[in-house]
Structure 1
Amino acid sequence: MTSVTAQLVLASRSGDVPSHPGHWLLSAVLIGVLLALVVLFVVVVGSILNSALPPGRKIVWLLFVFCFPVLAWFAWYLIGRPDARRRGPGTAY
């Protein structure tokens, strides 16, 4: 056993496993990405519920969002919103 491995084994037995700074960074990035996805999910669901679509189409869009979240988010903002259909592709805001 190398000395570093031996130190880690002894440290893990005592409960003092040294943490690597990269682990904290990776954890922070993952938490940030998950929070962003949750916020995006809430925004898209709110956008669907507040749209002028009939209730049946809203339910279909909500089911699509729950089954295929990322794909449905892009589809909603590109073709699903009533505003998106009126403007048409390539129309400036």
Structure 2
Amino acid sequence: MEFSNVEIPMIEGLTQIEIAIMLEKYTLLLGMLQYGTAEEKAKAKEEIQAMDPVINRHINMITFDLASQQLGLSEASEGMDLILNKTFCSLE
């Protein structure tokens, strides 16, 4: 069976440690968006908007889906999707 690049997890151009650090920072920024002061929220919004193109350039979404499954986050992902949708809708 052949897979296209869209169907297999791919990380290109960065090491796994670089990705891990970037995603940890992203997680902290999401926390700032949810619970921070107005100043912290503005800073987090700015940082996330700068990070999104970098993340999307180096990691495809199937990678996130597979990691979520392997970590057993599938039950929690529906709630997280709601949080992320709320967060990113407010960024626009």
Per the normalisation by structure 2, the TM-score is: 0.29
Greater relative contact order structure (CA < 8 Å, 6+ sep): 2
Per the normalisation by structure 1, the TM-score is: 0.29
